[in-house]
Structure 1
Amino acid sequence: MRHTSLIFRYLVCVGWLLAAISHAANAQSLARSEEDEGGWRHSITPYLFLPLRTTGTSTIDGTSVDFDLNLSEVLDVLQGAASVRYEGWNGDFGIISEVYYVKLGGDGTLPGGRVDVDVDVRQTFANVQGAYRFANGVNASGQRYAADAAIGVQWNRIKQEIDFAGPGPGMTLGGTEEWLEPMIALRYITEINDKWSFASRAELSGFGVNGDDLQYLVLAGFDWKGWENTSLRFGYQFYGIDFSTDRSDGEFAYDVDQNGIYAAVAFHF
Structure 2
Amino acid sequence: MSPTYAESQLSISDSTAALNTVSDLEQHSHSAKALELEAASFLPEPAIESRIATEAAFPIYAITQADTSTPELSQFTVSDRWQFSVEPYIFVPLRVQADATVAGRTASIDLGLGNILDFDRAFNAGIRLQAQKNRLGLILDGFYISAQNSGNLGVTFPPNSLPGIGADIPIPVRTSADASLSIRQGLIDLAASYRIVDTTLGDSAAAPKSFPRLVFAPSLGLRINILSQKLEVDDVRINNIPVGNLPLPILLPVNQDFRLNRTTVEPLIGAQIGLDLSERWTVDLRGDVSGFNLNADTNLTWNLLVGAQYQLSPSTSVQLSYRFNGFDFEDGLGLTRAKLNLRQNGLLLGATFHF
- Bin for the TM-score computed over the shorter chain: 0.7 to 0.9
Distance (Å, rounded) in 2 between the aligned partners of 1:136 and 1:181: 29
Aligned-residue offset at 1:57: 2.2
**Residue aligning to 1:84:** 127
**Residue aligning to 2:257:** 172
**Residue aligning to 1:113:** none
- Going from structure 1 to structure 2, the CA distance change for 1:210 and 1:96 (only over 3 Å counts) comes to same
8 Å CA contact 1:234–1:262 kept in 2: the answer is: yes
- Count of aligned positions: 231
Aligned-residue offset at 1:105: 5.3
8 Å CA contact 1:51–1:260 kept in 2: the answer is: yes
Aligned-residue offset at 1:176: 1.1
Work out the percentage of aligned pairs sharing the same amino acid.
24
User: 1:118-267 to 2 correspondence within 5 Å?
Assistant: 121-140=183-202, 142-143=210-211, 144-162=213-231, 171-211=256-296, 212-246=298-332, 249-267=335-353
Moved more, 245-254 or 220-229: 245-254
Moved more, 232-241 or 52-61: 52-61
8 Å CA contact 2:222–2:267 kept in 1: the answer is: yes
Aligned-residue offset at 1:233: 0.3
8 Å CA contact 2:311–2:317 kept in 1: the answer is: yes
The residue type equivalent to 2:87 in the other structure is: T
The residue type equivalent to 1:182 in the other structure is: P
Distance (Å, rounded) in 2 between the aligned partners of 1:125 and 1:172: 25
Distance (Å, rounded) in 2 between the aligned partners of 1:83 and 1:235: 14
Secondary structure of 2:224's aligned partner? strand
The residue type equivalent to 1:252 in the other structure is: A
Distance (Å, rounded) in 2 between the aligned partners of 1:123 and 1:258: 13
Distance (Å, rounded) in 1 between the aligned partners of 2:121 and 2:353: 26
Distance (Å, rounded) in 1 between the aligned partners of 2:202 and 2:114: 45
Distance (Å, rounded) in 1 between the aligned partners of 2:328 and 2:103: 17
Residue 45 of structure 1, aligned match among 71, 87, 93: 87
Residue 100 of structure 1, aligned match among 126, 129, 143: 143
8 Å CA contact 2:116–2:122 kept in 1: the answer is: no
Larger radius of gyration: 2
- Where structure 2 has 5 or more consecutive residues not aligned to the other structure, the ranges are 1-73, 152-177, 204-209, 235-252
- Where structure 1 has 5 or more consecutive residues not aligned to the other structure, the ranges are 1-30, 109-115
8 Å CA contact 1:154–1:180 kept in 2: the answer is: yes
Aligned-residue offset at 1:123: 2.7
Tell me the alpha carbon deviations over residues 62-91 of structure 1, each in whole angstroms, 9 at most, x when there is no partner: 133344321332343248765100110111
Aligned-residue offset at 1:225: 0.3
8 Å CA contact 1:32–1:189 kept in 2: the answer is: no
Q: Which has the higher contact order (CA 8 A, sep 6+)?
A: 1
Distance (Å, rounded) in 2 between the aligned partners of 1:104 and 1:256: 10
Secondary structure of 2:189's aligned partner? strand
1:55 pairs with 2:97: yes
Tell me the alpha carbon deviations over residues 104-149 of structure 1, each in whole angstroms, 9 at most, x when there is no partner: 65999xxxxxxx9886643322110011110001013631221101
Secondary structure of 1:38's aligned partner? coil
8 Å CA contact 1:234–1:264 kept in 2: the answer is: yes
Aligned-residue offset at 1:209: 0.9
The residue type equivalent to 1:74 in the other structure is: I
- Going from structure 1 to structure 2, the CA distance change for 1:250 and 1:66 (only over 3 Å counts) comes to same
Secondary structure of 1:59's aligned partner? strand
CA RMSD of aligned residues (A): 2.9
User: 1:65-76 to 2 correspondence within 5 Å?
Assistant: 65-76=107-118
Distance (Å, rounded) in 2 between the aligned partners of 1:207 and 1:192: 35
User: 1:103-114 to 2 correspondence within 5 Å?
Assistant: 103=146
- Going from structure 1 to structure 2, the CA distance change for 1:64 and 1:169 (only over 3 Å counts) comes to closer
Q: TM-score, normalised by structure 1?
A: 0.75
- Going from structure 1 to structure 2, the CA distance change for 1:198 and 1:72 (only over 3 Å counts) comes to same
Distance (Å, rounded) in 1 between the aligned partners of 2:307 and 2:146: 27
Q: TM-score, normalised by structure 2?
A: 0.58
By percentage of residues, which structure has more helix? Answer: 2
Tell me the alpha carbon deviations over residues 208-236 of structure 1, each in whole angstroms, 9 at most, x when there is no partner: 11124322222210000012200000111
1:33 pairs with 2:76: yes
The residue type equivalent to 2:143 in the other structure is: Y
- Going from structure 1 to structure 2, the CA distance change for 1:254 and 1:234 (only over 3 Å counts) comes to same
